[in-house]
Amino acid sequence: MSTQSAPQFPAAAVPDRLFDDAAAESRWRARFHASRISVPDWAIDAPDANIYVSNASGVWEVYAWDRATGEHRRVTDRPNGTMHAVPSPDGQWIWWFNDTDGDEFGSWVREPFAGGAEAAPAIPDVHDGYPAGLEIGDSVIAVGVSTDDGSKLFTHAEGETKLFYSSEDDAGIASMSRDERLLVISHSEHGDSRHPALRVLKTGDFAVVADKWDGEGKGLSALEFSPVRGDARLLVLHERRGREELLIWDVEADTETEISLDLPGEVAAGWYPQADALLVAHFHQGRSSLYRYDLATGSLSSLDTPPGRIGGAGVRPDGTVEYGWSNAARPPAIRVRAADGTDTVLLEPPGDQAPGSSPMTDAFVDGAGGQIHALISRPSDAPEGPLPTVFSLHGGPHAADEDRFSAYRALWLDAGFAVVEVNYRGSTGYGSAWRDAIEGRPGLTELEDVAAVHDWAVQSGLADAAKCVVNGASWGGYLSLLALGTQPERWAAGIAGVPVADYVAAYEDEMEQLRSFDRALFGGSPETVPAVYKECSPITYVDAVTAPVLVLAGDNDPRCPIRQIENYLSRLAARDASFEFYRYDAGHGSLVIAETIKQTSIEVGFALRALGLR
């Protein structure tokens, strides 16, 4: 362990308040403080035993909900919060992942659903690591662990733990059959963790039942086995026709049925309880919707959810569908849709609901790689003419901005900024070619799309060219720093949360799962393709940065480690460049609401000062 003190960089200013108007100040804070909850997850054999995560205590933690009694109980209580938990099939236990201060490195523990006992190690003889999948059965448990040495997969049955798979490549537990005879793992033995293959094993002797790989550039994702005992059908996502679609693979018969849906965009799905239908989640142009697909007739029927974002969904034993929903103007709600079409609110979190915000519109901009979809938000009370504009770049990169409620976006609007969210190449939901177009040249490819949308925003009269801010966290933070160095003429300020700043150093320090991802994305490691890492690393262009920069980073971040960020900031400091740094005691973001509010106020306050608006 190093005893050297951390470098001292100019500290970010923490505003006491962002608005002189008390009502405006109260409104933006209320959006963050408002309680939110996730869609409940229930025990398959005891559907009254439910768990969810909520920020009701001021920190995101795990809660238990006994539907039979109506009792809600907070399960976890940790300084930096808890997000990952699973109920056992019988509803007697809650498993949750126990890491240290948000570093994502730890092990699974369990405690009784009813409470009354401290959490204890769930499988004591499985070593700590980063989680790589978990399947809990009545008699068989499968758990995956990733470390710097690669991936190890274990089963635990009849009191004995067995290591059944080990690889230097990325691998994980994907799904286990309802009767616990079959286990499917995801692996990248072919050398590309971004497009994984599947292998089905017997849980008794780990004999291979079947393998499936669609070839180079075509990944397979196991969604889940049928919920019916003895049914060996596995629901899988494939991309054989250039986008993610569904197939059902009978792994014992080794037969498959592709499901062709007449829907644009991409889909995911889960089973109805009797395995006679699928609940299909459809994603298209930043919005999502739900459908029921009848396997016997092949008919697809819409559940008529309103336009917006579906934040998780599941089918109860009685056929009702529970789902999370929001759009840019309306805060999240957990809703339930009965078989007769009646749609009501299922759970109301305690306290006042978050104040609403402004709706968003769409822009479609021609770019070098095709049409770029951007989501545009404008303050409802904005004057005519160009506005200060934040280009908010999502993380991932394999993710997408959506028409969803965001307290963060709403604050920027309250502060007088337009907000532009770009689903650049690399984003999901627009087909495999769009998602994979960044391979071999990550970062720079995405920024070509950001530049095209920036040009459109200025030319259309939305954005003031002299007051544009580039902003993002994680991959979005990486893109923000890269934009400041490669497009300095476009940006009046830049904000980067938990970014990759020095890619070679980041590769050395990050979790192995991300090294595997980076090798697939860049075409190799920094040793094998050094020129690509240099060309695509923000630190290469640090001397070209002219705009003020704000960087926020967590001490315990395994994804974008702190050392490589300090390398970048030291280069800024050597130039006497204008920058501020905020360092916090957590990992890749914070689950503590007070900390989130603090960081958000730092960001918006910094932008207002950098643009001369305060």
pLDDT for 295-313, tens place per residue? 999 999 999 999 999 999 9
- Distance in angstroms (rounded) separating the CA atoms of residues 614 and 612: 5
* DSSP, residue by residue, 44-67: TTEEEEEEEEE-TTSB-EEEEEET
The predicted structure's pLDDT at residue 614: 86
Count of all residues that appear for the chain in the document: 614
pTM, rounded to two decimals? 0.96
- Distance in angstroms (rounded) separating the CA atoms of residues 352 and 35: 8
Strands of 68-194, DSSP E:
71-74, 85-87, 93-99, 106-112, 120-121, 130-136, 140-147, 150-157, 160-167, 171-176, 182-187
| Cβ atoms 315, 357 nearer than 8 A | no
- Distance in angstroms (rounded) separating the CA atoms of residues 512 and 196: 16
Q: How do residues 79-106 score in pLDDT, each as one tens digit?
A: 999 999 999 999 999 999 999 999 999 9
Q: How do residues 29-78 score in pLDDT, each as one tens digit?
A: 999 999 999 999 999 999 999 999 999 999 999 999 999 999 999 999 99
The predicted structure's pLDDT at residue 5: 57
Going by pLDDT thresholds of 50, 70 and 90, the confidence category of residue 446 is very high
Q: How do residues 523-557 score in pLDDT, each as one tens digit?
A: 999 999 999 999 999 999 999 999 999 999 999 98
Strand order from edge to edge, sheet including 233-238: 221-225, 233-238, 245-250, 255-259
Residue type, 279: L
Q: How do residues 255-310 score in pLDDT, each as one tens digit?
A: 999 999 999 999 999 999 999 999 999 999 999 999 999 999 999 999 999 999 99
Q: Which of 406, 578, 599 is nearest to 498 (CA)?
A: 599
Q: What residues contact 263, with CB distance under 8 A and at least 6 apart?
A: 282, 284, 291, 300
For the chain, give me the number of helices (H) and strands (E)? 10, 36
Residue type, 144: G
Compute how many other C-beta atoms are within 10 angstroms of the C-beta atom of residue 148. 10
Bond preceding residue 488 cis, omega within 30 of 0: no
The predicted structure's pLDDT at residue 348: 86
